[in-house]
Amino acid sequence: MPEFDFIVVGAGTAGCVLAARLSEDDRVRVLLLEAGGADRTRAMTVPSAWPENLGSDADWAQVTTPQAEAGPALYPRGRTLGGGSAINAMGHVRAHPALYDGWASGGAPGWGYRDLLPYFRRSEQAPGHDPELRGTDGPIRVAPAAPADRHPVAQALAGGLEAIGCPVTDDLSGARPEGVAWVDLAIADGERVSSADAYLRPALGRPNLVVRTGGLVTGLDVRGDSCAGVSYVWDGIPGHASAAEVVLAAGAVGSPQLLLLSGIGPAGALRALGLDVVADLAGVGQNLQDHPVVMVTYQAAAALPRSRYNHGEVYTAVRTELANGYPDLQVFPILRPLAAPGFDAPAVGCNLVAAVVAPSSRGSLRLASPVPGAAPLIDPGFLADPRDVDRLEAGLDLIRAAAATDVFQATGLTELWPGPGAGPRDYIGRAVGSYYHPAGTCRMGVGPDAVVDPVLRVGGLSGLRVADASVMPVITNAHPNATVLAIAERAAGLLLGQA
Ligand SMILES: Cc1cc2nc3c(=O)[nH]c(=O)nc-3n(C[C@H](O)[C@H](O)[C@H](O)COP(=O)(O)OP(=O)(O)OC[C@H]3O[C@@H](n4cnc5c(N)ncnc54)[C@H](O)[C@@H]3O)c2cc1C
C-alpha cells in the first residue's frame, strides 16, 4: 500500500490549489512537498513591498543564459508556500479566449475557453464584474486599484493611450479582453492574496493533508512504466515517500528539471550527463516561452508619490500588425525609478514598459549537471525570432506616442532611456529582460513533442502527472497566474475523477 493517494511536488500557485482541493475529500491522503519555507513575510503581504521578495530566501534567484545583447537576465521564481503567487506582482488576468481555444484545437481537447471558464470562476472572487464570466465566491479575492488611490502616472499613461486611440475596457478578463484596463490585482483588505493564503492555509488543519517545507525533492521513483513515489532530502537526510499518483507542480523550471533528473526526457541529452534513460521524451524542457520586456525609463524633476498597489496598476493589451487572433503586446508602467541592467537608473522617475505577450521565440530548459539542486540552463530565447523585436519596436513607438500627449506631458516626466531621438532597435537588444512568466516546458498535447496528454499524464507512464505553468502549449497572452489557478482547479477535478 502506498503511504499517500497523492504526492504534490511544489507548493506554488498550482500546488496549493491541488493540495487544498484534493484534501477536501477526507478519504484522500495528500502529501505536499515544498523546497522553500512557510513564513509569510512583510514583503509577501504588503502589496507595494513585493519587489523586496526578489533575491530573498523566498526566491530561487537564478539567471538565464545570455539573451540577445543584454547578457544573462534575472530570473526570480518563488521558493516558499505559495510559490510565485507569494512573491509576484499580483496581476490577476486571463488570456484572450481565442488563446485557450487554440490550446484545445491544437491537441489539448478539454482546455478551451468554455471548458476552463468554470475553473476560472471557481478560483476567484471578483466583485463588480459580470458574474456569468467572473467568479463570485472563489478563494482568490481580486479587485482593481480603487479610483481614488490610483497613481497619477498610471492615470496619465491610461489617458495618453486613450488619447491616441487605444480602446478602454472595464475587464481584460471579461467580455472585452483588449484595451486599456485597471486590471484586477490579487489584493484584499490591503494585503496580497496568494494561493497559500487563500487555498492552503485554511486547509492546514486537515488530518489527511501533510505539508513539509524546507526540503528538496530530488527525483521520481519510477518502476517499470509506473511512478511509485518521490525521493527527497530533508534536513540533509535522504528519504522516499510513496503514492498512488505523483503530481508535479514545481513550475515551468522545476517540473521539467525533476523529470530530466529522473531520466525522463530527450535520451541523448540525458545520456550525455550520465543519466539512465527511463523514458525517451523529446519535449521535456523544450518549448520554453516567456514574455520579453523592454523599459522606457523616465526621469522626474520632483519625487513621485508611492504606488499604493503593485507599482503597475494599469495594463493595456493591444495588437501589433503581427498579431494572430489576439493581442500580442502589453504596455504598463513600473512606478519605480529603475532602469534596464547596464543603464543608470534615475534618482526619481519611473518606467513605461512594452511586453511581447504572444512571442514567436521559443527557448529551452536543460540540465547543467545531473546533481539535484544545481541551477539548470534557462534559455527563454528572447528575440530569437526577429518578429519579437518588431513587436517591441511597435511597443516603444506606442509608449512614445502616449508620452507625447498633453495628458502625459503634464506629469513633467522626460525620457532618459533609450533617450529622445535614439532609435529603438539597438536599445531593445541591449535592454531586453523577462516579465518572469516562464511556461510551456512540459507541453500538453499529442504527438512526439508533447510531454503530457490532455489529462496531464506524462507520456507512457502511469502514476505521474504535471499540473502547473509548464503544461501550457502556448503561453498566455496575459499574466499567467490566473490561468495556472484554473489549470490546477481542473487538474484536481481530473485527479478526483470529477472533471
Ligand atoms: C517576480 C515575479 C512577478 C510575477 N508577477 C506576476 C503577476 O503580476 N501576475 C501573474 O499572473 N504572474 C506573475 N508572475 C508569474 C506567476 O507567479 C507564475 O506564472 C506562477 O506562480 C506559476 O505557478 P506554478 O504553480 O506553475 O509554479 P510556482 O508558483 O513557481 O511553484 C513551484 C513551486 O515548486 C517548488 N519547487 C520547485 N522545485 C522543487 C523541488 N525540487 N522540490 C520541492 N519543491 C520544489 C518551488 O519552490 C515553488 O514553490 C510573476 C512571477 C515572478 C517570479
* 215, 243, 367 from 234: Cα distances, Å: 4, 18, 22
- Whether 291 is catalytic is no
Taking each helix axis from N to C end, the angle separating 424-431 and 386-403, rounded to the nearest 10 degrees, works out to: 110
Q: How far is the CA of 442 from the centre of ligand 1 (A)?
A: 15
Ligand 1 nearest-atom number relative to CA 470: 26
Q: How far is the CA of 182 from the centre of ligand 1 (A)?
A: 23
Q: How far is the CA of 286 from the centre of ligand 1 (A)?
A: 18
List average pLDDT for each run of 10 residues in the chain, which is 499 residues long.
96 99 97 98 98 98 98 98 98 98 98 98 98 98 98 98 98 98 98 98 98 98 95 96 98 98 98 97 98 98 95 98 98 97 97 98 98 97 98 98 98 97 93 98 96 96 98 98 99 94
pLDDT recorded at residue 460: 84
pLDDT recorded at residue 1: 86
- Neighbour-count burial for 442-461, b at 16+ CB within 10 Å, e otherwise: bbbbeeeebbbbbebbbbeb
How crowded is the C-beta side of 455, counted as CA atoms within 13 Å? 12
- SS3 sequence of 128-161: CCCCCCCCCCCCEECECCCHHHCCHHHHHHHHHH
Q: How far is the CA of 251 from the centre of ligand 1 (A)?
A: 6
For a ligand 1 pocket test, name from 240, 477, 479, 485 the mutation site with the most ligand atoms within 8 angstroms of its C-beta: 479
Q: 291's torsion region: left (phi>0), alpha (psi -120 to 50) or beta?
A: beta
- Which of 38, 36, 75, 86 has the alpha carbon at shortest distance from 57? 36
Ligand 1 nearest-atom number relative to CA 312: 8
For a ligand 1 pocket test, name from 484, 485, 487, 489 the mutation site with the most ligand atoms within 8 angstroms of its C-beta: 484
Degrees, nearest 5: CA angle 301-307-311:
100
pLDDT recorded at residue 27: 96
Contacts of 387 (CB under 8 A, 6+ apart): 322, 360
- Which amino acid residue places its CA nearest to atom 4 of ligand 1? 88
State the DSSP H helix or E strand holding residue 95, giving kind and residue range, or none if neither: none
Catalytic position from the list 96, 129, 311, 437: 437
Peptide bond into 147 cis (omega under 30): no
Euclidean distance between CA atoms 335 and 297, whole angstroms: 10
- Which amino acid residue places its CA nearest to atom 21 of ligand 1? 84
* 378, 392, 432 from 66: Cα distances, Å: 9, 19, 11
For a ligand 1 pocket test, name from 64, 77, 332 the mutation site with the most ligand atoms within 8 angstroms of its C-beta: 77
Q: Can you give the C-alpha Rg of the chain in angstroms?
A: 22
Beta strands 349-356 and 363-366 are: unpaired
- Which of 122, 89, 132 has the alpha carbon at shortest distance from 315? 89
Euclidean distance between CA atoms 204 and 197, whole angstroms: 11
| Ligand 1, CB within 6 Å, residue ranges | 9-15, 33-36, 54, 76-79, 83-85, 87-91, 216-217, 249-252, 254, 258, 436-437, 468-469, 479-482, 484
Q: Any idea which residue has 536543460 for its cell? A: 366
